[in-house]
Amino acid sequence: RMEEARAKGFKHVVFDDNYPPGHGDNTSGKKLCDPQLWSFLGKDDQYSYQDDFGHVERPLSSSEYLEYVERFRNAVSIYSEFPPIWDGPSRFFENGIARQVALPPLFSRKELTNDLGLDENSMASNSFDEESRRYTYINYARLAD
């Protein structure tokens, strides 16, 4: 998608479906910008190309994957992920791992409960946890000239 946007003259893009390795329905920036993430998540040699909301999917050899990494690096001059707004459960990983593959949240649960007067029960009943599970490593990319 970054190459397509670049070919159409876009300079700035934001994606809300920046899935980590082993998840999602596209070949996201998160899957390409840090090849070591695959090893960290135990997904070595499970590289895949995904497109069209999961309708196109095929395994990639290590060399094919590295070609996609190189294409990504040539297409993007700046890549940055936005942190989750608050600390909550992840739909992809147990929290220990989730916190290692994302930036720290802007607000802790303690800040939310103290500053907003919420308790753990009201956070669960007010969909804070449900909304937290929807976070997909939103990212910004400045496309190369």
C-alpha–C-alpha distance, residues 105 and 2, integer Å: 26
Give the model confidence (pLDDT) of 6-39 as tens digits: 999 999 999 988 888 888 899 999 999 888 898 8
Which pLDDT value is given to residue 72? Answer: 94
HEC profile for the chain?
A: CHHHHHHCCCCEEEECCCCCCCCCCCCCHHHHHCCHHHHHCCCCCCCEEEEHHHCEEEECCHHHHHHHHHHHHHHEEEEEECCCCECCCCCCCCHHHHCCCCCCCCECHHHHHHHHCCCHHHHHHCCHHHHHCCCCCCEEEEECC
Instruction: Quote the pTM value.
Output: 0.82
Give the model confidence (pLDDT) of 59-87 as tens digits: 999 999 999 999 999 999 999 999 988 88
Give the model confidence (pLDDT) of 82-134 as tens digits: 998 888 888 887 757 777 888 889 888 788 778 777 777 776 666 778 888 88
Which pLDDT value is given to residue 68? Answer: 94
